[in-house]
């Protein structure tokens, strides 16, 4: 039954429908009021109430809570820290954390997806990510998984490999033209009036790049740049090399990505993609578009968004971390590893294109894993539903969850388990390398344990299908950039935090109110993470 929402302590948004929640399930340990609800009452938040926003196209709508939009991941994490591995999120949903057994049972054994994923449909059409039925999802996946395999991506005869290489080559060229030489300043992003938090609103619309003041080493918004790289790669992969976007070569076209970043990630799935599709398609695509079924473009749109957002976020935070004064030695160590493997660059036209050697660089791998851990692109939970009775342990007692109970793990919490990751909020690539005090066997066991807690791409058969494309795209971009250039934070964008005063990069809008780089790079707590200020300005120079 749905009723009109009135004023509530949980600050229910206006004009919403509130679902009256059923009684608390009678678990095997009895109807004892869990400690979680005391915590919820203390914080004046009605976590047990699900909000259903009315849809303009059909009665089926998105389910949210007030917390999910602003501080859901952190709140759930705090509850785990206080109450243990299993906490009750609502009368019919629990969150599990701290034991890889739950990850294995929920995701590797593939419990059914919850109706939450209906939020990711496009105009009622189901894509592979939003498909709830496991058997149907498997049929979808079998049709295309061969294209996404590591063997296919690395195959020199496959256009995918050349697509990634050529776009990374263009990325390096754009960094040179925009930042290193200053021939084509990043005026578009500096002047952006669509981003109220952006550089243009802070320092004006032009004086920062005037030739009389500075000719080289200009800043560039790498968040926009990497989003362009990712979209160019994934659109060419999905639509064919001649029908993909050319955002790297045409900066004035990058504005198509701004509206997508300015709205919440889930709203963008349904509101922005139709307009993007019309804009991005070439003449040949547009002329044949009417002959395509809705399901065809929905599936490709699904992959376009998933492939560009998460990849650009990882590249942005990797380069940001390396550009912080406290991590300059880490940047130099990466460059040393790259040049030891590939020698010094001889000309701008050169591009490292050896996927196999790039993929095996140990220090780069350590950086990549640590960035995935601390700055997971999708830190939020992936909810599933128990199809049969399932046992969890609460305060040392076995509790049986009835069929139909929502259950999930969230990467944000799994990646911050203190018994596995010491000082979990600290970005420390060294944790992924062998210590002098440990044997190779001890190191391998430690890495294996850490990987059991890592789920940046999901787990099981439903994990990110574009994993192999994203990983090598990120690694190849990092290798080519830091093989040739060094990066620093833009002092006209932020107050640069000295190494001796550096802290951690927090999640939450309340940390984004200052002018320091750490404040500017605070992360939005949402299903898909992003920098709160939607930009990251770095200066690049040859070295």
Q: Are strands 406-408 and 93-96 parallel, antiparallel or unpaired?
A: parallel
DSSP output for 151-210: HHHH-TTSHHHHHHHHHHHHHHHHHIIIIIS-SS--HHHHT-SS-TTSHHHHH-SSGGG-
Apex 386 CA angle, 383 and 389, nearest 5: 150
Give 234's contacts (C-beta < 8 A, 6+ positions apart): 303, 304, 307, 308, 311, 466, 469
**369/374 Cα distance (integer angstroms):** 9
What pLDDT, on a 0 to 100 scale, did the predictor assign at position 262?
53
Q: Burial, 207: exposed, middle or buried (Cβ in 10 Å; 0-12, 13-18, 19+)?
A: exposed
Look at residues 285, 230, 200 and name the one whose alpha carbon lies nearest to residue 534: 200
List, in sequence order, every residue forming a beta bridge with 18; answer none if it has no partner.
Answer: 3, 51
Beta strand residue intervals within 294-420, DSSP E: 384-385, 390-394, 397-401, 406-408
CATH numbers and ranges of domains, the chain:
2-146+381-414 (no CATH), 159-379+466-542 (1.10.630.10)
Q: How many residues does the chain have?
A: 543
Q: Which residues pair with 4 in a beta bridge?
A: 17
Beta strands, E only, 376-432: 384-385, 390-394, 397-401, 406-408
Sequence-ordered strand ranges (E) for 223-335:
none
Contact 201, 195 (CB under 8 A): yes
Tens-digit pLDDT string for the chain (543 aa): 333 333 333 343 333 333 333 443 433 333 333 333 333 333 222 222 222 222 223 333 334 444 444 578 999 999 999 999 999 999 999 999 989 999 999 998 989 887 777 666 655 566 666 667 777 777 777 777 788 899 999 999 999 999 999 999 999 999 999 999 988 888 777 776 556 666 655 554 445 555 556 566 688 999 999 999 999 998 888 888 888 889 999 888 877 776 555 544 444 444 344 445 455 555 555 555 444 444 444 444 545 555 567 899 999 999 999 999 999 999 999 999 999 999 999 988 899 999 999 999 999 999 999 999 999 999 988 899 999 999 999 888 999 999 999 999 999 999 999 999 999 999 999 999 999 999 999 999 999 999 999 999 999 877 888 899 999 999 999 999 999 999 999 988 899 999 999 999 999 888 888 899 999 999 988 878 889 888 999 999 999
pLDDT in the model for residue 257: 72
- Residue 537's nearest CA partner among 212, 134, 203 is 203
User: b/e string for 184-193 if b means 16 or more Cβ within 10 A?
Assistant: ebbbbbbebe
Q: 383 and 114 in contact (C-beta within 8 Å)?
A: yes
CB 232 within 8 A of CB 244: yes
Q: Quick one: pLDDT at residue 63?
A: 40
Give 374's contacts (C-beta < 8 A, 6+ positions apart): 317, 415, 425, 426, 427, 505
**Side-chain half-sphere CA neighbours of 370 within 13 A:** 24
Cα-based torsion angle of the residue sequence 347, 349, 355, 356 in order, rounded to the nearest 10 degrees? -30
- As a whole number of angstroms, the distance between CA 21 and CA 49 comes to 7
**What is the model's pTM?**
0.79
* 226 CB-near residues (< 8 Å, 6+ apart): 311, 312, 315, 316, 319, 477
pLDDT of residue 9: 38
How many CB atoms are located within 10 Å of the residue 541 CB?
A: 14
Signed CA dihedral, 506, 511, 517, 521: sign only: positive
SS3 (DSSP) at 118: helix
Closest listed residue to residue 27, CA positions, set 407, 340, 459: 407
Asked if residues 358 and 476 have their Cβ atoms less than 8 Å apart, the reply is: yes
Output the pLDDT for position 521: 96
Task: Give me the pLDDT at residue 42, please.
Answer: 34
Question: What is the edge-to-edge ordering of all strands in the sheet holding 50-52?
Answer: 2-4, 17-19, 50-52, 63-64
């Amino acid at each position: 039954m749905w009723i009109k929402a009135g004023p509530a302590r949980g600050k229910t948004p206006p004009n919403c429908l509130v679902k009256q929640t059923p009684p608390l399930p009678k678990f095997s340990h009895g109807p004892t009021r869990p400690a979680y609800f005391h915590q919820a009452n203390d914080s004046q938040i009605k976590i047990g109430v699900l909000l259903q926003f009315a849809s303009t196209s059909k009665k089926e709508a998105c389910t949210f809570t007030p917390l999910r939009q602003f501080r859901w991941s952190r709140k759930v994490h705090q509850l785990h820290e206080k109450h243990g591995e299993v906490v009750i999120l609502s009368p019919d949903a629990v969150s599990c954390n701290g034991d890889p057994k739950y990850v294995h049972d929920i995701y590797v054994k593939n419990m059914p997806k919850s109706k939450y994923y209906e939020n990711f449909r496009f105009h009622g059409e189901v894509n592979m990510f939003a498909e709830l039925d496991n058997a149907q999802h498997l049929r979808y996946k079998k049709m295309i998984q061969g294209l996404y395999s590591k063997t296919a991506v690395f195959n020199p005869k496959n256009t995918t490999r050349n697509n990634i290489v050529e776009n990374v080559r263009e990325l390096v060229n754009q960094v040179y033209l925009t930042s290193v030489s200053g021939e084509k300043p990043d005026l578009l992003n500096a002047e952006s009036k669509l981003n109220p938090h952006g550089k243009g609103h802070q320092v004006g619309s032009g004086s920062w790049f005037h030739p009389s003041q500075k000719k080289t080493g200009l800043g560039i918004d790498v968040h926009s740049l990497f989003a362009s790289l990712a979209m160019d790669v994934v659109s060419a992969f999905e639509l064919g090399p001649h029908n993909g976007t050319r955002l790297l070569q045409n900066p004035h076209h990058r504005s198509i990505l701004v509206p997508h970043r300015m709205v919440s990630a889930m709203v963008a799935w349904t509101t922005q993609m139709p307009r993007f599709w019309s804009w991005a398609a070439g003449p040949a695509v547009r002329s044949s578009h009417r002959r395509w079924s809705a399901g065809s473009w929905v599936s490709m749109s699904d992959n376009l968004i998933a492939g560009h957002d998460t990849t650009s976020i990882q590249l942005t935070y990797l380069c940001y971390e390396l550009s912080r004064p406290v991590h300059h030695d880490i940047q130099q160590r990466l460059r040393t590893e790259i040049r030891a493997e590939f020698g010094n660059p001889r000309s701008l036209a050169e591009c490292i294109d050896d996927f196999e050697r790039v993929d095996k660089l140990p220090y780069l791998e350590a950086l990549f894993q640590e960035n995935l851990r601390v700055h997971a692109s999708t830190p939020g939970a992936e909810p599933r539903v128990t199809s049969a009775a399932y046992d969890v342990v609460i305060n040392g007692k076995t509790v049986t969850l009835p069929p139909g109970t929502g259950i999930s793990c969230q990467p944000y919490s799994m990646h911050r388990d203190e018994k596995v990751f010491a000082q979990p909020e600290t970005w420390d690539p060294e944790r992924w390398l062998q210590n002098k005090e440990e044997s190779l066997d001890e190191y391998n066991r430690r890495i294996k344990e850490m990987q059991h807690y890592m789920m940046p791409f999901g787990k099981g058969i439903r994990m990110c299908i574009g994993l192999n494309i994203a990983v090598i795209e990120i690694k190849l971009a990092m290798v080519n950039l830091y093989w040739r250039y060094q990066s620093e934070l833009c002092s006209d964008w932020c107050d640069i935090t000295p190494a001796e005063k550096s802290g951690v990069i927090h999640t939450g809008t309340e940390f984004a109110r200052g002018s320091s780089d750490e404040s500017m790079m605070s992360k939005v707590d949402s299903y898909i993470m992003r920098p709160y200020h939607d930009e990251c300005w770095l200066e690049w120079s040859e070295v």
